[in-house]
Chain A
Amino acid sequence: MTIKHSEEYRDAELSRRLVEKIRQTSRRPIRLMEVCGTHTVSIFRSGIRSVLPQTIALLSGPGCPVCVTDQAEIDAFVALARQPGVTVATFGDLMRVPGSASSLQREKAEGRDVRIVYSTVDALAIAQKDPGRQVVFLGVGFETTAPTVAAAVAAAAGLKLANFSVISAHKLVPPALEALMAIEAVRVDGFILPGHVSVIIGLDAYRPFFERHRLPCVVAGFEPTDILQAVDMLVGQIEADRPALENAYPRAVSADGNAKARKVLAEVFEPADACWRGIGRIPASGLRIRAAYAAFDAERRFGLTLPEAKPPKGCACGEILTGKKTPPECALFRKVCTPLDPVGPCMVSSEGTCAAYYKYSDA
């Protein structure tokens, strides 16, 4: 079977057949976790939860890049925006995330120079166009985004740009999976692994994790049919008691990923401990700019320190990110915390679990 267009992946007939098969196979009550914000949104938008049998519960894990960004990092972004002569370049969905006292959106309304860019290349272009300003790109995201940021840093080094730097708040997926398993209250019977991240790191990057825990793992694409396919494979593994690491997205994901992207990533960044909202410090789960590129590290250039910052009071984002709670179980959900007045990042980001529940479900 060759499928060409994205539209065809949404093929209603194929989806219905997969749903039928899942309904027939699924016996045990199971909890499957998707670890990618794009999966979360696709699941809600396509109404996948409403067609799956009662036996299958889908949980959203720490897969929304904005949501896992630590409060202290958000505060640092705001502090940077307030520095005179600094232009902050950021992906759009960070704009509304409330820090301890402000957000980038508010700073922009106050007249600070905060610009939404669609890629790091655009941030680089701003720096080239305006040598009088210090342009800082907010590096947030997983293995998918990080190589493009690394490429921009390498390009800036090549151009000897003195007014471009990056604050690296990047996070890595495999260490987060490891950390999740270490949290006692987290109960997951199988993982739907992120497609885009896997395009870069490859299926084999999950092998050590899989061998340690022998838990069903399937890499999935983003169309409703892709996700249903992955759920079907996970159910099959679980019902047969044969956990495996499988690839339901072979048209994009290979065993060893994208070598070129991994090379530039390793050239510019090195693994470092990182703080995740809701999980805390995870060893070697972030990326730090290597000493050779220190000139482009905004933390060093501006002498930033990240003071401890407490998450907002009563906000259950941390528990929601680890699948311990669902949004309706948070006391603030829909009452105090709405997309108009978000308390935590899971309500702000378009890929946040709370925003998805709010927008797409009755719960």
Chain B
Amino acid sequence: MKTDKILLDHGSGGKISHRLTQELLLPVFDNPILAELNDGAIFELNGRRVAFSTDSYTVDPIFFPGGDIGELAVNGTVNDLAMCGAVPAYLSAALIIEEGFPTEQLQAIVASMGRAAEFAGVQVVTGDTKVVPRGAVDKIFINTSGLGVIPAAVEVACHRAQPGDVIILSGTLADHGVSVLARREGLSFDTTVQSDTAPLNHMVRAMFAAAGGGIHVLRDPTRGGLGTALNEIAEKSGVGIRIHEERIPVKPEVAALCELLGFDPLYLANEGKLIAFTAPEDAEAVLRAVRSDPRGRDAAVIGECSADRPGRVYMQTRIGGTRIVDMLAGEQLPRIC
């Protein structure tokens, strides 16, 4: 570690976060299950394959257009399990609350967690509550962990993309990232953009029903965005990836705000979108399954894998040019303008 202090960049989900994981965490917890670095751990328990995942949720503001931290905390872990190919079943929920936090807001957040769990078809079966002195956390932090069983025919992982695979994105990019940015203190833009927070397990179930073995990789491009997720898959699978700018759905208001602030939607967070790498012959069936879900109506085939330039992600631009899509380095910072 080159820095003697932890910076916000270490939590960006980009290269600098990876370095933290690689240099500080992996050497200590060294084991083959962790080393896979999937969205959740995948292992066998009494002859059944299960997925186990955990995530902590800290978002500012805690209530944002289209959702709140409670819904996000349930959906996020449900999605991490779904991306392992698992059927999410049980969740834990731990709340760390700042002294003085309004009870009414806590009720709203917990109610929202309940609704999200019901919608996703999971149960919160264990939990914990801590209250810390004012200033020790910012309002409320939530941790959720989850467990799910992986059906026998399903095998998805970050390293399973193959040359020829087709890449499907389930909808518009960067809605969550922009909705949160737009509401953050100090930024007074009026925008109609809503967070896309949603559980993806129902969509995933439909996808496997349409083409079980043909789906090789599933990923929800949350922190770090699509650009970072594609780079991780290209690297772990040893394939080259090419995506096409004009096929990537981005809402016009999202594109406009990104342009204003100098942000790239490729690196902003999504909380209800997935990317799927599928065998070319199954791509149409999978795309149809995604689009049949109300949250997948804008789904599109955005690119493909090849054996060329393994580990690299390229973009064919609207004007017919080509450029690299690199992994996010640290947090995106608004530019001067």
Contact = CB atoms under 8 A, between A and B. Distances in A.
Interface of A: 5-7, 10, 12, 15-16, 19, 37-38, 41, 44-51, 65-66, 91-96, 105-106, 109-110, 115-118, 122, 125, 140-141, 144-145, 196, 224-225, 228, 338-341, 349-351, 358-362
Interface centre among B246, B322, B332 (most CB of A within 10 A): B322
A225 B318 CA distance: 10
Contact of B261 (A94, A118, A224): A118
A95 B333 contact: yes
Contacts of A66: 336
A237 B256 CA distance: 33
A360 B326 contact: yes
Interface string B6-40: 11110000011001000000000000000000000
Contact of A47 (B256, B323, B329): B323
Contacts of A48: 319, 321
B265 to A, nearest CB: 11
Contacts of A144: 337
Interface of B: 2-3, 5-9, 15-16, 19, 186-188, 246, 252, 255-256, 259, 261-262, 264, 315-324, 326, 329-330, 332-337
Given A91-B334, A340-B19, A340-B329, A7 B324 contact: no
A340 B252 contact: no
Contact of A359 (B2, B9, B319, B326): B326
Contact of B319 (A6, A15, A140, A361): A15
B6 A109 contact: yes
A196 B252 CA distance: 21
B336 A65 contact: yes
A109 B188 CA distance: 26
A17 to B, nearest CB: 11
A242 B151 CA distance: 71
B336 A93 contact: yes
B326 A358 contact: yes
B322 A50 contact: yes
A51 B2 contact: no
Contacts of B186: 115-118, 122, 125
B335 A46 contact: no
B174 to A, nearest CB: 15
A14 B156 CA distance: 42
Contacts of A140: 336
B149 to A, nearest CB: 39
Given A51-B321, A359-B326, A12 B246 contact: yes
8 contacts: A7-B255, A16-B320, A51-B320, A196-B337, A224-B317, A224-B318, A340-B16, A340-B19
Contact of A118 (B7, B187, B318, B321): B187
Contacts of B321: 46-51
Given A15-B319, A47-B317, A360 B324 contact: yes
Contacts of A125: 186
A46 B318 contact: yes
Q: Main secondary structure on chain A at its contact with chain B?
A: helix
B235 to A, nearest CB: 16
A105 B333 CA distance: 11
A93 B333 contact: yes
Closest 9 CB pairs of A and B: A47-B321, A92-B333, A339-B329, A15-B319, A47-B317, A50-B321, A92-B334, A109-B5, A91-B336
A95 B319 CA distance: 33
B333 A51 contact: no
A105 B7 contact: yes
A310 B85 CA distance: 55
A285 B56 CA distance: 49
A14 B195 CA distance: 34
B319 A351 contact: no
Given A93-B335, A95-B333, A140-B336, A351 B320 contact: no
Contact of A116 (B7, B252, B323, B333): B333
Contact of B330 (A91, A122, A340): A340
Nearest to A363: B324
A349 B329 CA distance: 12
A277 to B, nearest CB: 15
A19 B246 CA distance: 18
A48 B318 CA distance: 10
A362 B324 contact: yes
